[in-house]
Amino acid sequence: MYNNEITPFKHLLLICLVIFLGGCAAPGYGPIVEDLSVQARPSERMPSSSTNAPTDTLVTSQAPTLVVTAKPKPYVAPKADVTITAQPISNQVATGSVVQEIILPVVQESPLPPSNQAVVEQLLAEADQLKAQGKVTQAVIQLQRAQRIAPREPKVYARLAALQLSLGEASRAEQLALKGLTLVPNKNSYQYYFWKLIGASRSHLGDTKGEAKAIAEAKKYK
Amino acid sequence: MWLFKFATVLLVVGTVALVYLDAQIRHRFEGHRWSLPAKVYARPLELFTGQQLATGQLDYELTQLGYRWVNHAKAPGQVQKTNQGIVIFSRGFRFADGDQKGHVVEVSLKRNKITGLRQTSGASIALLRLEPQLVGGIYPAHNEDRELIQLNDLPNGFIETLLAVEDRHYYSHYGVSPWGIARAMWANVKAGAVVQGGSTLTQQLVKNFYLTDRQTLWRKLIEAPMALLLNIHYSKDEVLEVYLNEVFVGQAGKRAIHGFGLASRFYFGQPLSELKLHQVALLVGLVKGPSYYNPQRHPERAIKRRNLVLSILAQQGLISEAQKMNYQGLPLDLTEASQVSRYPAYMDVVRQQLQQHYQASALSNHGLRIFTSLDPWVQHQADTAMVEQVNKLKQRHGNIEGLQGAAVVSHRGSGELLALVGDHNGGYAGHNWALDRSRQVGSLLKPVVHLAALETGQYSLVTSIDDAPIALPQADGSLWQPQNYDHKSHGKVPMYETLVKSYNQANVRLGLQVGVDKVLQQLRRMGVEQSIPAYPSVLLGAVEMSPLQVNQVYQTIASNGFYSPLSLVRQVTEANGRLLSHFPFAVRQSASNDSIYLLQHEMRMVAREGTARGVYRFLPKQQKVAAKTGTTNDQRDSWFAGFSGRHVATVWLGREDAKPTPLTGAGGALNVWGQMMQHLAYTDHEDIKPQSIDYYYLNITTGKAMPDNCPNGVWLPMLKTLAPPINTTCGY
């Protein structure tokens, strides 16, 4: 609560603030959902020539602890009056058809076997539905929920990676697919899927050598 | 004439004052009424078929959430025991990913494992997410806390009770009640003292909402006109709703409890809508004097007051005499869950992290909802293990002056922080030992040395390493001569044994062969950012790290070589549920799958037969854990770090002044780690073996493979490329 005593001046200020910040909340000021992840900087990507053994060039590292070192963005969201709801939950939008063209074939070519956990299938279905509605952030949240429940389920990584790639987060997608690979040494359909996805990610990152290697790997499992 | 002039001036001044008051009233009433602290939530418990829970966990979590055990669960917040398990009537909740309705679900359990979830219709469902526990808030300077409610959140009988006690004619008076004042005055005159106030609820609201507590003449003068104005502008229901949220009903340390919504959570651990009449009567009774009638401190006064309220209800014919007697016979039914913040160390980190993204005022004023990964059960077990084991150590070794401790637990699969203990007694004041203080990590670094060696592709677990004494010249010309803990040398030993027995001399030699810089590069890839000079002593852990940093390194090992920063905030939303930020799961490969597979095997051997084997005093034999002990010079620091199928945990014990203790890693921190893990659910699964690796039956002295009918061999995983030819004889 504010200072209990009535102070007209303060109230005037407050009104100004509400109007001012209300303006900020008007549509057209960009996405409001902040993606506060720490992601590997391009220089930290695993050199694609040796996906199984990082070399010494990979020495730069991330913030050591829990600290989420997001790109510092000016803080916009909570307004002086939280009841102002100028905008619905904003969503990240897939970055254009180029990426869609890369990943769609991968997804269609190689349907993945169903998970043996009903809960995983349900959450993946919910995520698909959200994505279809254009609620991409919500879909990511559902997939992460599935990842926490079933961290050894390769299908979850397949979906997460595909979704990140469709958002243009190729580096993140590549790493998620690499993680997925470690879970499926004897599952050809997954090996194929992940290598294709890694290839697509590297292509997006301009890493042609790495892409070629990934495509060659994928072929082994076709 | 002057009288007329005076009257005119008075009229003008009065009108201006009234217009001014009116503006104030309307502005405050219609604008941003309260600054709401950010609410911090624990992770919601997800129940699904196949989910393994720990013994006692479900009961504990439901109690913390304020669920009541009943014979037949028929309202939200109730739970019922059945033959197969329990029936839960969950509450609805607004999650960051959308609203979720309450459900009635029968949960079948067998040895704490969920075998099925069924709705009352009989249909089975895949998943039930309980609402998350509210674990704290980020309060503004004035420390007011409240949980906003609306009239339709009120349980049956609430308004009737409130009005019967505080303002019988609320719906018929004009904001002030001359009759009420007269009655109060009469009562006061009769008693010869102020025993009754004549204030209406409207006046009480004006007093709390617009004016200070000071008994000034000005306040007295404007209170009544303001109440009248409020009454003119707004409906009775609107004013009542604001009153319900404004009223002061208790104090928890520095935190002021306002409004019946929060009061219900605070005293009963339940949402207001679930309260029964005896609980309602207590809350309404508290308005008269929240500290005098404080049910936690003065239960007998509180019962008396509550029963008086129930008597008033009976007098006014709102309940029958029999109902009155029935309710008066009930206990206070206060919540068993402590209302003091139980998670100071964790909340500390949440706050730190949020302050990087949000302004302090945004956190304390806008009712933001912060969803974290805090696991109340894990935190509870970590706190308990720390307190109990530290006490035991003190009994065994005599008082260890200034003994401190810290523990960090994260989720192996996701890298989320589940629990933090920042102090030897669970609470903490001042230093958060899990983050703020760095200590030398000793042998905890040896797995990193081994990983760096394995990453070269030239070492196998049976590569022979010399454990002979070693002396290295230092910059100042003196010699550095590290020794083994037992002051003996063990000759040539297979690499895995140097970790299992934690031989210093052999590990220094191994590290020098690989290169100190390579070891440090590996460490950096696993999330340790600070610059560390490349001295050989680093190989024995002459590196200062906080327990949190250590856990980050072990988290990377546990998650198959993929680094992801330990995180604890999942999402932040506005009060209305609008999503503001979320933290996507991201990983970065920091070591090859092959090397990690071999390292994990070594670390499991450390727990089975090596320096960490004491954990099996706490854990069942079949549970797989991988771990490492750490002890620094003169036993200044006692460390233990490792992971099970589900959890990664690090424990540190040591003195505040960093003086020697009687504790080794195995003699101190291991006990806290062991007790904690003993009470956490675990899931075991086979490690996924990379295609490049196979198991071989090896003669340890020669390092050669031999037929599996030979005696004294060991099955070990090896890179196929390094595999020795299989001898046809046993090779002895």
- Chain A contact for B108 (CB, 8 A cutoff): no
Report whether B508 contacts B539 (CB < 8 A). Answer: yes
Query: Is A61 in contact with B549 (Cβ distance < 8 A)?
Result: no
Q: How sure is the predictor about A90, in pLDDT bands with cuts at 50, 70 and 90?
A: very low
Q: Give the pair of three-digit tokens for residue B637.
A: 């620091």
Mean pLDDT of the A114-125 span: 90
- pLDDT over 70, % of chain B: 96
Contact at CB, B417 and A66, closer than 8 angstroms: yes
Average pLDDT over residues B254-262: 89
Cα–Cα distance between B328 and B304 in angstroms, integer?
A: 9
Question: Residue B714 in contact with residue B697, Cβ under 8 Å?
Answer: yes
Q: What is the pLDDT of residue B732?
A: 55
CATH class of B379-572+580-678: alpha beta
Contacts of B230 (CB under 8 A, 6+ apart): B25, B29, B175, B202, B205, B206, B239
pLDDT at A77 over 80: no
Q: Give the per-residue pLDDT at B566.
A: 92
B730 is written with which tokens?
Answer: 């046993």
Instruction: Show Cβ contacts of residue B432 under 8 Å, excluding neighbours closer than 6 positions.
Output: B344, B345, B348, B349, B406, B420, B422, B423
| Greater pLDDT, B520 or B727 | B520
Are B525 and A59 inside 8 Å of each other by CB? yes
> DSSP code of B55?
T
B488 in A contact zone (CB under 8 Å): no
Q: Which chain A residues are Cβ-neighbours of B580 within 8 angstroms?
A: 32-34, 77-78
pTM tops 0.90:
no
Q: Which residue has the higher pLDDT, B28 or B601?
A: B601
Contact B350, B277 (CB under 8 A): no
- According to CATH, the topology of domain B38-136 is Penicillin-binding protein 1b fold (3.30.2060)
The identity of residue A84, as a single letter, is I
Q: pLDDT value at position B728?
A: 78
Which domains can be identified in chain A, with CATH numbers?
1-87 (no CATH), 96-220 (1.25.40.10)
pLDDT averaged over every residue in chain B: 90
- Would the CB atoms of A148 and B32 count as touching at under 8 Å? no
Residue type, B261: G
Instruction: Tell me how far apart the alpha carbons of residues B148 and B264 are, in angstroms, rounded to a whole number.
Output: 12
At residue B224, the pLDDT reads: 84
Confidence label for B2 from pLDDT (cuts 50, 70 and 90):
confident
Nearest residue in chain A measured CA to CA from B32: A81
Any CB–CB contact under 8 A between B170 and chain A?
no
Higher pLDDT, B718 or B24: B718
Chain A residues with CB-CB distance to B583 below 8 A: 35-37, 68
Average confidence (pLDDT) over B132-151 = 85
Where are the domain boundaries for CATH 3.30.2060.10 in chain B? 38-136
pLDDT at A95 over 70: no
Reported as a pLDDT band with limits 50, 70 and 90, residue B9 is confident
Provide the β-strand partners of residue B411: B647
According to the model, what pLDDT value does residue B711 have?
Answer: 87
- Burial of B549 per CB tally in 10 Å (0-12, 13-18, 19+): buried
Q: Are strands B113-119 and B104-110 parallel, antiparallel or unpaired?
A: antiparallel
Confidence of residue A16 (pLDDT cuts 50, 70, 90): very low
What contacts A28, CB < 8 A, 6 or more positions away?
Answer: none
Joined tokens for residue A174: 């590549």
Do B86 and B109 form a contact (C-beta atoms < 8 A)? yes
- Residues B171/B141, Cβ–Cβ less than 8 Å: no
For B160-165, which contacts have Cβ atoms below 8 Å and span 24 or more sequence positions?
Answer: B160/B313, B160/B318, B161/B277, B161/B280, B161/B281, B161/B284, B161/B309, B161/B313, B161/B318, B162/B201, B162/B284, B163/B201, B164/B309, B164/B312, B164/B313, B164/B316, B164/B318, B165/B284, B165/B285, B165/B287, B165/B309, B165/B312
Burial of B146 (0-12, 13-18, 19+ CB in 10 A): buried
Look up the CATH architecture of domain B143-328. Orthogonal Bundle (1.10)
- The pLDDT score that the predictor gives to residue A7 is 42
| Percentage of chain A lying above the pLDDT 90 cut | 43
- Specify whether the CB–CB gap between B579 and A89 falls below 8 A: yes
Tokens for B95, please give them.
Answer: 């999650």
Whole-number percent of chain B with pLDDT over 90: 66
SS (H, E, C) B611-648: CCHHHHHCCCCCCCCEEEEEECHHHCEEEEEEECCCEE
Name the least confident of A12-26, A94-108, B215-229, B362-376: A12-26
Chain B hits for A144, CB-CB cut-off 8 Å, are 414, 570, 584-585
B641 beta partners: B628, B650
Q: Is the dihedral of CA A8, A9, A12, A14 positive or negative?
A: negative
Poorest-pLDDT segment among A132-146, B181-195, B420-434: B181-195
Q: What is the distance between the alpha carbons of residues A182 and A153, in angstroms, rounded to a whole number?
A: 11
Report pLDDT for B209.
78
3-state secondary structure of A78: coil
- Where do we find the tokens 């990590």? B441
B301-331 confidence digits (pLDDT tens) = 999 999 999 999 999 999 999 999 999 999 9
pLDDT at A78: 35
ipTM for the whole complex = 0.86
pLDDT tens for each residue of B155-202? 999 999 999 998 888 999 888 887 777 777 777 677 666 555 668 899
A89 touches chain B (CB under 8 A): yes
Q: Where does B211-316 have alpha helices with state H?
A: 217-233, 236-246, 259-268, 277-286, 299-315
How high is the pLDDT of residue B121?
A: 85
Report helix, strand or coil for B504: helix
* DSSP character at residue B262: H
Q: Tell me the nearest-neighbour CA distance from A109 into chain B, angstroms.
A: 25
- Identify all chain A residues contacting B46, using CB atoms and an 8 Å cutoff: 145, 148-149
pLDDT of amino acid B221: 74
Question: A189: distance to nearest CA of chain B, Å?
Answer: 16
**Smallest Cα distance from B581 to chain A, Å:** 4
The Cα B276–Cα B324 span in angstroms is 13
Query: What are B725's two structure tokens?
Result: 């030819």
Q: Is the pLDDT of residue A53 over 60?
A: no
Residues 6+ apart with CB under 8 A from B338: none
Judge whether residue A219 has pLDDT over 50.
yes
Angstrom distance (rounded) from CA B625 to CA B688:
15
How much is the average pLDDT of B323-346?
A: 84
| Alpha-carbon gap, residue A27 to A29, rounded angstroms | 6
Interface test with A, best of B230, B579, B691 (most A CBs within 10 A): B579
User: Does residue B443 carry a catalytic annotation?
Assistant: yes
Mean pLDDT, range A167-195, rounded to an integer: 94
Sign of CA dihedral B455, B457, B459, B461: positive
Strands A34-35 and B127-129 come out as unpaired
B565–A38 CB contact, under 8 Å: yes
The pLDDT tens digits for B588-621 are 999 999 999 999 999 999 999 999 999 999 999 9
Task: Calculate what percentage of chain A has a pLDDT beyond 70.
Answer: 50
Lowest mean pLDDT of A48-52, B233-237, B276-280, B537-541, name the range.
Answer: A48-52
Please state, in angstroms and rounded to a whole number, the distance separating the CA atoms of residues B526 and A58. 11
- Distance, CA of B533 to CA of B440 (rounded, Å): 14
Q: Does B535 touch chain A (CB under 8 A)?
A: no
Domain with CATH 3.40.710.10 in chain B: 379-572+580-678
DSSP state of B140: -
List beta partners, residue B138: B38
Is pLDDT above 50 for A42?
A: no
pLDDT tens column, B384-393: 999 999 999 9
Integer Cα distance of B607 and B611 in angstroms: 7
Q: pLDDT band for position A34 (50/70/90)?
A: low
pLDDT at B212 over 90: no
- Between CA A110 and CA A218 the distance in angstroms is 11
- DSSP letters of B69-125? E-SS--STTEEEE-SSEEEEEPPPEEETTEEE---EEEEEEETTEEEEEEETTS-B-
Identity of the residue in A51, A59, A149 whose CB atom sits nearest the CB atom of B521: A59
What are phi and psi for residue B114, nearest 5 degrees?
Answer: -80, 120
Q: Which residues of B77-110 are buried (b: 16+ CB within 10 A; e: fewer)?
A: bbbbeeeebbbbbbbeeebbbeebeebbbbbbbe
Kind and range of the H or E run holding B480: strand B479-480
Q: How far is CA B433 from CA B32, B96, B389, B661, in A?
A: 40, 32, 17, 17
Where residue B217 falls among pLDDT bands split at 50, 70, 90? low
Question: 3-state DSSP call for residue A126?
Answer: helix
Least confident window among A45-54, B93-102, B258-267, B446-455: A45-54
- Could A66 and B566 be called an inter-chain contact, meaning their C-beta atoms sit closer than 8 Å? yes
Reported confidence tier of residue B356, pLDDT bands at 50, 70, 90: confident
Q: What's the pLDDT score for residue B426?
A: 67
The residues that bridge with B80 in the sheet, in sequence order, are B87
- Cα B332-B334-B340 angle, rounded to 5 deg: 150
Residue A87 has pLDDT above 50, yes or no: no
By CB atoms closer than 10 A (0-12, 13-18, 19+), residue B632 is buried
Note the pLDDT tens digit of each residue in B668-709.
999 999 999 999 998 877 889 999 999 999 988 888 888 888
More confident residue, B9 or B539: B539
Respond yes or no: is residue B460 known to be catalytic: no
Cα-Cα-Cα-Cα torsion A182, A188, A192, A194, nearest 10 degrees, comes to -20
Interface check for A78 against chain B (CB to CB < 8 A): the answer is: yes
pLDDT one-digit tens code per residue, B281-291: 999 999 999 99
For residue B49, what is the nearest residue in chain A, using CA coordinates? A119
Q: Which residues of A touch B126 (CB under 8 A)?
A: 118-119, 121-122
Angle between helices A8-24 and B2-30 (to 10 degrees): 30
Query: How far apart are the C-alpha atoms of B434 and B411, rounded to whole Å?
Result: 17
Measured between beta carbons, which residues in chain A are less than 8 angstroms from residue B143? none
Q: Which residues 684-703 in chain B show a CB within 8 A of chain A?
A: 685, 688-692
**Residue ranges matching CATH 1.10.3810.10 in chain B:** 143-328
